[in-house]
C-alpha cells in the first residue's frame, strides 16, 4: 500500500483538541483538509503525523508545543491605552479584537489583562503555548510527481 511521503498531496479528516480534551477544530461535517506534505502549509507536527500513513488508516498524534504554534512570545504582548478604546466599548479579558499594523494588514489580538489606564493585548496565535492532540483519518493520497532526468 502507498504510504504518505513528503511532496504528496493528502486529504485528511481531523479532530483537534487540547491535552485537557477541549476541541478547538474539526473537519466533521466539512470536506477533509487537503495539503501538500512538507510544504509548510500546516504545523510541523501535523506534517510529521501523517507521514507514513495509508489510505483509510486512523491515527492519534500528540504534537508538542514546539512542533505546534510554539511557546507564547513575551514580545507579542503589548500595552494599549484604555482611553483609545471607543467610549461605548468595555474592554474585558478574553475579548478578541482586530488591529491594523500600519501596513493595512489586520491581525487578531486578545485582551489578556485590563488595568486602570492600560489594556494588555496578546498577539500570539490563540494556540501558542499549547500541546495539541489530533485524531486523523487519511482519506486520499495524490503521489508527488516523479522527477525524470533525461540525458542530453
What CA–CA distances, in Å, run from 132 to 50, 60, 72, 97? 15, 11, 14, 24
pLDDT tens, position by position, 31-86 = 999 999 999 999 999 999 999 999 999 999 999 999 999 999 999 999 999 999 99
This model's pTM is above 0.75: yes
Place of cell 467610549: 87
Whole-angstrom distance, CA of residue 7 vs CA of residue 3: 12
pLDDT tens, position by position, 73-98 = 999 999 999 999 998 999 999 999 98
Phi, psi of 34, deg, nearest 5: -115, 130
The residues, any chain, with a CB within 8 Å of residue 116's CB and separated by 6 or more, are: 82
All structural domains of the chain, each given as residue ranges with its CATH number in brackets, are: 9-70+127-142 (3.10.50.40), 74-122 (2.40.10.330)
Amino acid at each position: 500500500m502507498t504510504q504518505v511521503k513528503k511532496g504528496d498531496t493528502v486529504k485528511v479528516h481531523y479532530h483537534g483538541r487540547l491535552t485537557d480534551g477541549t476541541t478547538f477544530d474539526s473537519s466533521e461535517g466539512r470536506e477533509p483538509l487537503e495539503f501538500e506534505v512538507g510544504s509548510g502549509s500546516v504545523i510541523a507536527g501535523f506534517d510529521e503525523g501523517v507521514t507514513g500513513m495509508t489510505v483509510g488508516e486512523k491515527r492519534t498524534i500528540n504534537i508538542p508545543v514546539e512542533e505546534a504554534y510554539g511557546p507564547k512570545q513575551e514580545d507579542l504582548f503589548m500595552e494599549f491605552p484604555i482611553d483609545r478604546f471607543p467610549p461605548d466599548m468595555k474592554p474585558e479579558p478574553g475579548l478578541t479584537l482586530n488591529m491594523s499594523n500600519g501596513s493595512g494588514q489586520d491581525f487578531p489580538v486578545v485582551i489578556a489583562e485590563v488595568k486602570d489606564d492600560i489594556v494588555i493585548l496578546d498577539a500570539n496565535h490563540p494556540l501558542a503555548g499549547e500541546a495539541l492532540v489530533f485524531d486523523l483519518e487519511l482519506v486520499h493520497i495524490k503521489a508527488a510527481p516523479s522527477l525524470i532526468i533525461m540525458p542530453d
